[in-house]
Structure 1
Amino acid sequence: MLGIDVGGSGIKGAPVDLEAGEMAVPRRKVLTPQPSTPEACAGAMATIIEQFADQIDGPIGVAVPAPVLHGVTPFMANLDQSWVGLDAAAYLSEKLGREVVLVNDADAAGVAEMQYGAGRGKQGTVVLTTLGTGVGTALFHDGRLVPNTEFGHIEINGRDAESRAASSYMEREHISYKKWAKHLQRYYSTLEKLLWPDLFIVGGGVSREYKRFLPLLNLQTPIVPASLRNGAGTIGAALAASLRVGANVPPGAQRIASVPD
């Protein structure tokens, strides 16, 4: 099953071994087009699909940085605003010539981590955050997904939370991990008071550097890096496609997430 993860800066994809919970071959990555219109992004996805055409069949899972309601993206923070209100699942299916199962990117990463990674077997309330161009979130209770949460957009000190908590802020402002961690402390403390979770999982590309910032946080809730790192979105997108069509579903996955239509 092919998974594609569409981000604000890059689009990544690979066939996924759903039994092992890993990419079957090294993933391919292309830069996200600018402007990142649906048409331009579909073209970038087609480039990735072409490279794996002889290795895949069936639907494609595509993770996007937006809530997904019945295939429609009603809100978009980190891609072109022409995505807003689009039946993106139908549009991409037509453009790519394959059925596309569309899912929120953080939900995809969360489902992968709950099935294969840092959240495996965890009960209670688990919150996964992806720190990148923006901040994505996925919420689980007793192992089941509550889809389309957007806790990256809660207001903190009069600002959208992701405006300071995203790793792109650290890179853009050229600040240290220590200074950035102060913004993360404020963000995770706010989430903690709102949700009182049993576990935070931190994903996104910056999670590979978790030793440089997670130890600086002082929280009541345990906080750990994502096991699948930045590959979780790609793996989770493929898993979402598998769940939707009921093919090659690994044991336990249906319990974790009934992917919304």
Structure 2
Amino acid sequence: MTNEAVLGIDIGGSGIKGAPVDLVVGDFADKRLRIPTPTPSTPKKVAGVVARIVESFAGQLGDGPVGVTIPAVVTHGVTRSAANIDKSWIDAPADTIFSERLGRPVHLVNDADAAGIAEVKYGVAKGYPGLVIVTTLGTGIGSAMIMDGALVPNSELGHLEIDGHDAETQASAGAKTRLGLSYEEYIPRLQRYYDTIEKLFSPDLIVVGGGISKDAAKYLPYLKLHAEIVPASLKNRAGIIGAAWLAAEAAGRTDLLA
């Protein structure tokens, strides 16, 4: 087993963040670097910023893969949607764009999927059997489904239609802010959302992430579900850690994993 780091990079609407990750312990091996997301956030411009982050950590990475998260549905290295990034990402051959720009293997994943796998491998859901659903409450609702440690990608459970509405327009943290809701007013919306998740999937554990998870004591104890529901533990490190783990797995680098 080696402690060679794997670089994880998290592409967001306002910032692109990266750090080398020690996958044996599941934490950053160095301080995170953040560079503002370029405007417009086209594939070429974003790949240039990602290259700067890779170059800054090149001495720690060996010839290993790089894991990159993006707020989009990703299928076979192609980005099929674009949330908070330029619409030119839709149907872009993103894996190829990054790999050619960086000159090393790149594994691209949905940002919520990366955060979810990090919580299962190193966070609050570590060792939990069965179906774990991780949701991130932010501007929208991101989701990840992990069955016995294996990711089911691109679940997009924030876009379930509930009562005639796209779920995230009613139950995201962004909706709470937009509508000026108190937690007392917001809780019924969360209850309806998670009731639907439970009815459709019968998860064994639900993990709630996103910035609002820091206030979990104000709403999670009031949700009545069959499944256990808990706040995420890795906070804003989860995407980078999960991206690195998934990149190592995709490259067959089991020597890098715990």
TM-score by length of 1: 0.87
User: Does 1:107 pair with 2:113?
Assistant: yes
Tell me what 1:256 maps to: none
| Alignment counterpart, residue 14 of structure 1, candidates 16, 19, 27 | 19
Instruction: Output the CA distance in 2 between the equivalents of 1:21 and 1:234.
Output: 10
1:8–1:133 Cα contact (<8 Å) kept:
no
Q: 1:223 aligns with which of 216, 226, 229?
A: 229
Change in 2 beyond 3 A, CA 1:97/1:170: farther
Q: Which runs of 4+ in 1 moved over 6 A?
A: none
Question: 2:256 aligns to what?
Answer: 249
Rounded Cα–Cα distance in structure 1 between residues aligned with 2:145 and 2:209: 13
SS at match of 1:5: strand
Report the TM-score when normalising by structure 2. 0.88
Runs (5+) with no aligned partner, structure 1: 252-261
- Matched with 1:164 is 170
| Between 69-78 and 196-205, the greater mean CA deviation after superposition | 69-78
1:9 and 1:18, CA in 2 relative to 1: closer, same or farther beyond 3 A? same
Cα displacement (A) at 1:135 = 1.5
CA contact (8 A) 1:113 1:228 kept: yes
Q: Does 1:235 align with 2:241?
A: yes
Task: Give the aligned length.
Answer: 251
The answer to whether the 8 A contact 1:114-1:121 is kept is yes
Give a deviation string over 1:30-86, Cα, whole Å, max 9, x none: 333343322232233234334323322322100112222110112233322211111
Deviation of residue 211 (structure 1)? 2.1
Q: Distance in 2 between matches of 1:49 and 1:183?
A: 41
Partner of 2:122: 116
**How far off its partner does 1:173 sit?**
4.2
The structure-2 alpha-carbon separation of the partners of 1:26 and 1:207, relative to structure 1 and needing over 3 Å to count, comes to farther
Separation of aligned partners in 2, 1:177 and 1:96: 45
Per mean C-alpha deviation after superposition, the further-off stretch among 34-43 and 9-18 is: 34-43
1:93 corresponds in structure 2 to 99
Distance 1:4 1:178, change over 3 A: farther
Q: If you compute each CA radius of gyration, which structure gives the higher value, 1 or 2?
A: 2
Identity percentage of aligned residues: 54
Counterpart pick for 2:200 among 176, 194, 205: 194
Residue matched to 1:39: 44
Matches within 5 A, 1:65-144: 65-144=71-150
Task: List per-residue Cα deviations over 1:149-204 (Å, max 9, x = no partner).
Answer: 11111112322212233323334444434433332222111111111111101122
Gapped runs of 5+ residues in structure 2?
A: 1-5
SS in 1 for 2:151: strand
CA shift in 2, pair 1:195/1:72, >3 Å: same
The answer to whether the Cα contact below 8 Å between 1:2 and 1:15 also exists between their aligned partners in 2 is: yes
Contact kept, 8 Å, 1:154 with 1:161, in 2: the verdict is yes
Contact (CA 8 Å) 2:121, 2:149: kept in 1 or not? no
Alpha-carbon distance in 1 for matches of 2:52, 2:185 = 39
Cα shift at 1:117: 1.3
SS of match in other structure, 1:85: coil
Say whether 1:64 aligns with 2:70: yes
